[in-house]
Structure 1
Amino acid sequence: MTHSTKHTAWTLLIAGALATIAFDLFGQGLSPLFGFAKLAPVGLATGTVKSVFGVAPKGIGDVVHILTGMIAYPLGYFLVARPLAAKFTPWLHWSLVSVAYGVGLWVFALYFVAHLIAGNAPFLGFSGITWVALWGHVLFAVVAAAVIERNLPRTVQTTPALA
């Protein structure tokens, strides 16, 4: 693994760790503290594993939640959202791209995972948890993107001058 690859891997892991902490702090701590719904990402992950495999070993929800936040979601921003934005909307600031990515994560988590895989109501019935989850996923994406953009600046693509 080259220095650049190691730097990228560590940056993505740190971005995911910090974003997961922000997501959990907001969704499981601050939101209920201020009278709003409490997120239950571990419960959703456990239910999803049980829906897919028929059984969910103790602790699997924690593992899935942490690995999704530390690895899968930061990779999604780095490998999908960031390159797509660079190609189709290069004028957009990364913060706006990250907000859109966060909304995409919310749709993925609350429609595809919670509904289509785990069998819950679409978007968990548009209850209080739905909106806390929206803000939580946007916060996650902004924190992860901020770390990534600060530590992995985009390289300037230049094209040779036409003769």
Structure 2
Amino acid sequence: MNTISSDTRLVGSLPAINFNTLGLMFISGFFATIAFDLWGQIVSPGLGFANLSPHGLAQSLLGSLGLPNNAFAGYFVHFYVVGLIGYPIGWMFIFAPIWQRVAGNTHWLLPSAIYGFGLWVFAIGGITSLAGLPFFLNFTGIVWVALVGHVLYGIVMVAMLKYIERNQSA
């Protein structure tokens, strides 16, 4: 059986571009996006904090680029393009290999949380500006809910990758 081990993969090469890697991206991204949305749209508002609307940010970005920006397009970009493809690619092909070269073998929890923080800076600091929204949304309550959501996304995504890899090698 072909297995993908992030510990082996991170030492000096990128993951293979094949169906196994694509499956890892989709599965880990799926569970991470569900965790993100569960936190931002159910748990956070239930605790009295802001309600995240990541599809709204995607709609704003699409509109600023002159692309169709209806609700379907916003949800599609948020869930599929970003959650299942974009953020997992960022981890597997960019952040994790760099982390491995700089920090060496560490437990996965710290780099996954740092990656989530980086996603937050990218999304709330960068994409909001590109979409014509205020920088870091003027640091309103939604920004801090988004911080927790992005860090949670990073942790859940990498936890799922580790879980799948552990089960593949068993």
- TM above 0.5: yes
TM-score (norm 2): 0.83
The residue correspondences of 1:21-40 to structure 2 (distance < 5 A) are 21-40=34-53
Please state if 1:14 is matched with 2:27. yes
Question: Residue by residue, what CA displacement relative to the aligned partner does 1:99-136 show, whole Å, maximum 9, x if unpaired?
Answer: 11001000000111011x11111111111001000000
Structure-2 change in CA distance of 1:57 and 1:81 (3 Å):
same
Larger mean Cα displacement after TM superposition, 135-144 or 4-13: 4-13
Instruction: Please list every run of 5 or more consecutive structure 2 residues that lacks an aligned counterpart in the other structure.
Output: 4-17
Q: Which amino acid aligns with 2:125?
A: Y
Please state if 1:97 is matched with 2:111. yes
Secondary structure (helix, strand or coil) at the match of 1:53 reads coil
Question: Residue by residue, what CA displacement relative to the aligned partner does 1:87-107 show, whole Å, maximum 9, x if unpaired?
Answer: 000143111000110010000
Structure 2 equivalent of residue 83 of structure 1 = 97
Question: Residue by residue, what CA displacement relative to the aligned partner does 1:36-63 show, whole Å, maximum 9, x if unpaired?
Answer: 0000101110011000115424410010
Q: Which amino acid aligns with 1:106?
A: W
The residue correspondences of 1:10-159 to structure 2 (distance < 5 A) are 10-53=23-66, 55-67=68-80, 68-115=82-129, 117-152=130-165
Q: Distance in 2 between matches of 1:47 and 1:151?
A: 35
Paired positions, count: 151
Query: CA shift at 1:12, angstroms?
Result: 1.3
Q: Which amino acid aligns with 1:72?
A: G
Larger mean Cα displacement after TM superposition, 34-43 or 48-57: 48-57
Larger mean Cα displacement after TM superposition, 34-43 or 142-151: 142-151
Quick check: 2:116–2:155 contact (8 Å CA) kept in 1? yes
Q: Which amino acid aligns with 2:37?
A: D
Deviation >6 Å, runs of 4+: none
Q: Distance in 2 between matches of 1:27 and 1:97?
A: 22
Name the Cα RMSD after superposition: 1.7
Query: CA shift at 1:7, angstroms?
Result: 2.3
